[in-house]
Amino acid sequence: MEEDSPHTNLPTKTLDLDADLQKKHQAMLERLSNRHQARLDTSLARRSDSANSSESTSSFLSRFSASKQSIDSQLANSRLIATSDPSRLRSHFANISSSISDLEKLVAENSYFLPSYEVRSSLKTISDLKQNLEILNSELIPKKKFSFKNKATAKKELSKEPERIKPDTVSVFNFKLPNSPGFRNKINETLVKKLRGTEIGEFTLSDLESCEVRLIGCCNAVFVNRLKNCKVYMGPVIGSILIEEVEGCVFVLASHQIRIHLAKSCDFYLRVRSRPIIEDSNVVRFAPYCLDYEGIEMDLEKAGLSEETGNWGSVDDFKWLRAVQSPNWCVLPENERVGKVRTEDIGSKSEVSRAVPGL
């Protein structure tokens, strides 16, 4: 005699319910399995990204260290050259300056993936190298002593152009714009980007006319190229800001390094750790950083820019080597400054507009 099935006497509705429960249970198990696999994939991807970033950082540090050692060696040889062949000193120092500029560009080009402390450490090293070069230059190439000259000789020397360092030996410009996020090819637009909470390392502003740009938050490096009649308000930059070919613009910037090339009739409101550098620029004016927005103190702290250095008013003009003040830049008079600029007020009225000289 055959035994009865345990479910023989159960109602059909109960059997259907058990089947539904089994299906739901199976579906739940599949979801949990898929979720677990997704987490594993994400974890592996993060480990891979971390490994790639560590490898890139290691490669940068190796290149940076090799370049620094080479510059240190050149600096150490300076006194020997001063003794054996003093006529070579000027070209020797120009080569060192060029090597330091190349090192600066190396930091700027790689700052998008470097940890912020590595960027700050590298910039401090570069600053020390510049200072050592300046000390050696002042010691080994003394200024010419004053002497009386006849009128003919004096007139002849006054007609000469002041001695200049060739641009290709010290210039930090002619940089190649990176293929990074940014604003490009815009006319008469308001362009806003919130960088806080993003992983953007570099940002580019290129070919903008009559635009207002607002960058809120931190990034590692900013490249600016071919702007006309624009207003740029920018949160702190951990590394460098490189600016080339700008006219009739207002910039409010905070950064460890700021380099300006081919600027005309522009105002710069800066907070900067090193002395700003201009080259082939004229009618440019400087004032202290004046941007304000919610959370800016935290961003300034993150970028190592929480303290005002006063360097905004100590500009180096690479095309003016005389002891007197360069005529190409000046301090912006207080009665012509815009005052504190808040992001919520930007663009609402003419508070931040100005009549640019020469336009």
Name which residue leads in pLDDT, 109 or 239: 239
pLDDT in tens, 3-49: 454 555 555 555 555 666 666 667 776 776 676 666 666 555 555 54
Mean pLDDT along residues 167-173: 39
The tokens for 124 are: 């401090």
At 197 the three-state DSSP class reads: coil
Asked if pLDDT for residue 183 goes beyond 60, the answer is yes
Least confident window among 241-255, 277-291, 322-336? 322-336
Q: What domains can be seen in the chain, in order of their start residue?
A: 13-142 (1.20.58), 182-352 (2.160.20.70)
195 close to 219: Cβ distance less than 8 angstroms: yes
318 close to 171: Cβ distance less than 8 angstroms: yes
User: Which of the given ranges, 47-61, 102-116, 229-243, 300-314, has the highest pLDDT on average?
Assistant: 229-243
Work out the burial of residue 36: count CB atoms within 10 Å of its CB; fewer than 13 is exposed, 13-18 middle, 19 or more buried.
exposed
d(CA 27, CA 33): 10
Mean pLDDT along residues 142-159: 46
DSSP of 223-268: EEEEEES-EEEE--EEEEEEEEEEES-EEEEEEEEEEEEEEEEEEE
pLDDT number for residue 157? 42
d(CA 12, CA 17): 9
The residues facing 263 across adjacent strands are 246
The tokens for 316 are: 């180096």
Mean pLDDT along residues 68-93: 86
Asked if pLDDT for residue 331 goes beyond 80, the answer is yes
Q: CA quadruple 194, 200, 201, 204: dihedral positive or negative?
A: negative
